[in-house]
Structure 1
Amino acid sequence: MSRRSLMRGAVAGAGAIALPALLTACGGGPGGDGKTVTLGSNASDPMPKKAFADAFSAYAKQSEGGRKVKVNIVDHNTFQENINRYLQGKPDDVFMWFAGYRMQFFAEKGLLHDISDIWAKYEGFSDALKAQSTGADGKQYLTPYYYYPWAVFHRKSVFQKYGYTAPRTLDEYLALAKQMQKDKLIPIAFCDKDGWPAMGTFDYINMRSNGYEFHKNLMAGEESWTDNRVRDVFDTWRSILPYCQPGANGRTWQEAATSLQKKQTGMAVFGLPHPGQQFPEDERDDLDFFPFPEIGAEHGQDAVEAPIDGFLLAKKSKSLKNDKTMESAKDLLSWLATGEAEDVYLAGDPNNIAVSDRADTSKYTPLQKKAVELVSGARQISQFLDRDTRPDFSSTVMVPAIQDFINDPKDVDGLVHGIERQKKTIFTSES
């Protein structure tokens, strides 16, 4: 997919632990008032939590008839790991989730409400954003809200102090890492306790080495994980690991991002919100990034990871059987699709980028403007490993596989054979 078409509108996105009881529908069901919409939120960190609260409060103030949102917040990782059970159990009316394959998978399972009727009235979204919100049946299921790019983040002051320059190639990246070690810095902040952060590094090495199309086909189960191209990805990654923070599987993304903020580490492969949320407001101007370095000239730095987040309606919500609650839920989504709604959110969380061309970009920070340039200048856009593939494959196979690799990067042969064996079972099943 062309990233220019995807973001044209944005420039002017079964776990083992049961969800807490609070993440259940409790709004206007058959016995409710029809005006209260429950919303399952994975925005558990302080900054997005407050920004969403501001947005939902703004909605309630402007809505007709006293409509309001009751937000049920669950830890981000717990929400993500248990999304399948959540959607098949007693979900909220509306919930936060992701565009692309992760949305399409649940649409095919009949777990989402079709919102094509209100999507037809949305304004300010590009055709490519619509495509990312569309299921295999051609119907729309997601209301996109924002996107954010992944890159290599660092502090300007650290680079200025030591005279570092942003590397363009892998060789330059490794040379910079070696110099950081000499300067008594840990070169690369690294973490994977949450099970997903290291996926960004895998994706970038894969796309830089083998191109976006191979990434897409590998995630779709159409390429073999025993292919030499995949082995090369892990071999390349192994050459980077000596410069990464040790003990990554015991470190959360917040801890890794904080080490960057404290100038203990020199660089970090992250999405824009992750270091942004850990930097105090008076230090945020010191945060900068460069694109993940080129590995093969054929693919250069063409592809960019730029996940899109948004809102969906849960098919199994009992409350939505009430026509008035369904009307209220769709009214909420229609408001969230406006530039005004994005403006309210981004005023409290300037670590994301609006998807609507009706949003006010005049107040964007220099970092946000640079993020827009990065995405609009890419030739392809990926949604991230755990969004570009089946959720069961991501959670049950790739999370432990990458963590195993981080613990013992020597046995690449055994690793890829194990992934391929499990992939065949999952992608040929109907589960």
Structure 2
Amino acid sequence: MSRPRSQAEYLARLVPPSVAGLNRRSLLAGAAGTGALLGTGLLAGCGGSDSDSGAGSKTVSLGSNASDPTPKDVLAKVTAGFQSSSGIQVAVNTVDHNTFQENINNYLQGKPDDVFTWFAGYRMRFFAAKGLAGDVSDVWGKLSGYSDAFKKASTGDDGKQYFVPMSYYPWAVFYRKSVWQQHGYQVPKTLDDLNTLGAQMKKDGLNPIAFADKDGWPAMGTFDILNLRINGYQFHVDLMAGKEAWTSDKVKKVFDTWAGLLPLHQPDALGRTWQEAAQSLQQKKSGMYLLGLFVAQQFNNDEQDDIDFFTFPEVDSTIGAKALDAPIDGYMMARKPKSEANAKKLLEYIGGVDAANITVKNDPGTLVANTGADTSGYTALKKKAAELVGSATEIAQFLDRDTRPDFASTVIIPALQQFIKNPKDIGGLLTSVENQKKSIFTS
């Protein structure tokens, strides 16, 4: 394929008009400023032909969505460790995180890399069921240090494993200890407490809650936690699976509650990335931020001890505040990798203790899944995060991982952005979502 003259032209070639999703407009926006989309990049596909066995090869390709500096650096160190121990060279093809997700279906149906980054839970099972991922059950036979919960999260509907977990992180409300000590803020236990705290932060000249949704997915975390707190875990899971109606009073209550909280959120969220919102917390301009533990990546090393968090407060005392989002990140294998043997060797290394130890040392924003890792170097923040996940009664994977990818991208992202822009017509919005859900889940 000849090299396109611009990133816009490149994406236009890759995404035909018939592709469902946020389509070219959002893809182009999501890829703005990304220098990863090269002619040999991931979306072009680096896998071999179906007849290419890769026998005797000393290379393996890895498609990565780790485009932010910290995770990109961690992956580089992990693959360097694998190369050193195995003698197999790893060609890492990094693509902007959002662009990777939005193009994953086309990518996997083309000639994907041998191994690729992806997520546990529904989104893994979805592609495994479609025959777009390789069975790695034999790799699991060589792994140790994983709980039954992690193995379950890596297992497809057919009982085989298609995923190797690397790291996970809880979503919680983060804040700077020094800011809270300065103003005498206390951790809110209920929604009323949160509203009172937010009002005081406004008086003190802070944005109470840092907020961003330019990339479409961060607002899903707010929806998830409100639905978990208001309606409970099982309703949330059933709603994501298409079994409950978005027009129900239960869902309307979630959006009504959210609408009441929006005045506490940082304004103009649709023009801001999560990194920019995190930097407002880092710069002490915002009082708190509901996000994943990876928020720590936006803080300097000497600021890590100043970060703390609390789980989102209780809304309904009969439901409590024990459920949370704690997504699992890891790796999958293409259905027909150019070198299956090398791909499985890489996955075995990624799932081992050495790779976990490299991650512990280099990424302040994630927790490693392998319990055999040396976690003595965990910061106080990471230790507390691990304890939070350990104490959770139910763990969700995150909205766009717990439902169909096409529903998350084509319906939920624009719906949540529309709500943020205009929270007054909740009924009309949810009727639209429900109608589209019926069409997608029955297709």
Equivalent position of 2:81 in the other structure: 58
Deviation at 1:354, TM superposition (A): 1.0
Distance, in Å, in 1 between the alignment partners of 2:336 and 2:263 is 47
Which amino acid letter does the alignment assign opposite residue 61 of structure 1? Answer: S
Q: Does 1:396 align with 2:410?
A: yes
Distance, in Å, in 2 between the alignment partners of 1:339 and 1:428 is 43
1:301 to 307, 321, 338: 321
| Contact in 2 for aligned 1:28/1:35 (Cα 8 Å) | no
| Contact in 1 for aligned 2:47/2:112 (Cα 8 Å) | no
Deviation at 1:346, TM superposition (A): 2.3
User: Which stretch of the first structure deviates more once superposed, 143-152 or 333-342?
Assistant: 333-342
Which residues of structure 1 form unaligned runs of 5+?
A: 1-13, 320-324
Secondary structure at the residue paired with 1:146? strand
1:363-406 Cα shifts (integer Å, max 9, x gaps): 11000000011000110000000000000000000000000000
Secondary structure at the residue paired with 1:379? coil
Q: Does 1:281 align with 2:304?
A: no
| Contact in 2 for aligned 1:187/1:243 (Cα 8 Å) | yes
| Contact in 2 for aligned 1:51/1:346 (Cα 8 Å) | no
2:150 to 124, 129, 146: 129
| Contact in 1 for aligned 2:45/2:110 (Cα 8 Å) | no
Distance, in Å, in 1 between the alignment partners of 2:47 and 2:217 is 32
Distance, in Å, in 2 between the alignment partners of 1:160 and 1:371 is 21
Larger RCO of the pair (alpha carbons < 8 Å, separation 6+): 1
Distance, in Å, in 2 between the alignment partners of 1:373 and 1:342 is 18
Which amino acid letter does the alignment assign opposite residue 178 of structure 2? Answer: S
Secondary structure at the residue paired with 1:82? helix
1:249 to 253, 267, 270: 270
Which amino acid letter does the alignment assign opposite residue 425 of structure 2? Answer: D
Which residues of structure 2 form unaligned runs of 5+?
A: 1-19, 32-36
Equivalent position of 1:349 in the other structure: 363
Aligned counterparts, 1:144-223, within 5 A:
144-223=165-244
Secondary structure at the residue paired with 1:198? helix
Q: TM-score, normalised on structure 2?
A: 0.90
* Count of matched residue pairs: 407
Deviation at 1:115, TM superposition (A): 0.8
Deviation at 1:26, TM superposition (A): 3.4
| Contact in 1 for aligned 2:59/2:90 (Cα 8 Å) | yes
Aligned counterparts, 1:9-408, within 5 A:
15=21, 16-17=23-24, 20=37, 21=39, 22-23=41-42, 24-26=44-46, 30=52, 34-63=57-86, 66-273=87-294, 275-317=295-337, 319=338, 325-408=339-422
| Contact in 2 for aligned 1:87/1:316 (Cα 8 Å) | no
1:280-319 Cα shifts (integer Å, max 9, x gaps): 11111111110011100111112011000000011154x2
Secondary structure at the residue paired with 2:192? helix
Distance, in Å, in 2 between the alignment partners of 1:224 and 1:315 is 35
Which amino acid letter does the alignment assign opposite residue 67 of structure 2? Answer: S
Deviation at 1:121, TM superposition (A): 2.1
Which amino acid letter does the alignment assign opposite residue 149 of structure 2? Answer: A
Distance, in Å, in 2 between the alignment partners of 1:260 and 1:414 is 34
Distance, in Å, in 1 between the alignment partners of 2:194 and 2:381 is 21
Across the aligned residues of Structure 1 and Structure 2, the Cα RMSD in angstroms comes to 1.4
1:213-245 Cα shifts (integer Å, max 9, x gaps): 000000000000001000000000000000111
Question: Could you tell me the percent identity over the aligned residues?
Answer: 58
Which amino acid letter does the alignment assign opposite residue 373 of structure 1? Answer: E
Q: TM-score, normalised on structure 1?
A: 0.92
Deviation at 1:267, TM superposition (A): 0.7
1:117-159 Cα shifts (integer Å, max 9, x gaps): 1212211111111110001111100000010000000100000
